[in-house]
Amino acid sequence: MSGRLNESARVMWRDFLLSVAAPGHRLSRIPETPEAWAFGLGAEMETELAELVVAGTKRATATSLEGLLLDGDPMPQPGRYSVILDGEQRARCVIRTTAVHIAPMDSVTDAFAWREGEGDRSRAFWLEGHRRFFRAEHEELGIPFFDGIPVVFESFEVVWPPEICDNAAS
């Protein structure tokens, strides 16, 4: 679920923009104000997943397409920036989406499961965890669940803060 920037996210976004306005830095385009959101559902999972991003382990995420559409959240787009929050709604980093594709859940690849960075990072672990997560989400939304549900597979890079940045030339 995404939303407007809280104070923590506003400060992080401001610091990121000021960093790219410094001499020697450049953005190819001025980014739109991002949305702020957390991975997962519930404070514990949100913090756990934010920690995986900060640690450099998590560089991908997956969302049920129907869940995304019913929630009214924006479709991820390559080049779009987001401020990632933890379970206490504290801004942890700024990410930039690098790739998005929609495919059946059960078509997830080993490489994508590894980039998502959860558990043992295997495809089997990914499928087991996402079956539980998406089944519960779909039941709550009143929509059918099956292994071939359309999923939005999103890859990203961390662009701020500098100590966890994936590319110093962001």
13 burial (CB, 10 Å; 0-12 / 13-18 / 19+) is buried
Say what the pTM is: 0.91
Residue 64 near residue 136 (C-beta atoms within 8 A): no
Q: CA-CA distance, 127 to 41, in Å (whole number)?
A: 17
Q: What mean pLDDT is predicted for residues 44-50?
A: 97
Handedness of CA 156, 127, 85, 5 (dihedral sign): positive
Classify burial at 45, counting beta carbons within 10 Å of its beta carbon; exposed 0-12, middle 13-18, buried 19 or more. middle
CA–CA–CA angle 59, 63, 67 (5° rounding): 160
- Residue 11 is predicted with a pLDDT of 96
Q: Would you place residue 137 in the very low, low, confident or very high pLDDT band (cuts 50, 70, 90)?
A: very high
Q: Where are the domains of the chain?
A: 2-159
74-110 tens-digit pLDDT: 899 999 999 999 999 999 999 999 999 999 999 999 9
Q: Is the pLDDT of residue 26 over 90?
A: no
Q: In angstroms, rounded to a whole number, what is the distance separating the alpha carbons of residues 14 and 82?
A: 13
- The CATH class for the domain spanning 2-159 reads alpha beta
- pLDDT bucket at 169, cuts 50 / 70 / 90: very low
The number of residues making up the chain comes to 170
What CA dihedral angle connects 142, 87, 107 and 105, to 10 degrees?
0
Report pLDDT for 163: 95
- Whether 17 shows a pLDDT value over 70: the answer reads yes
Q: Read off the DSSP letter of residue 2.
A: E
pLDDT at 111 over 90: yes
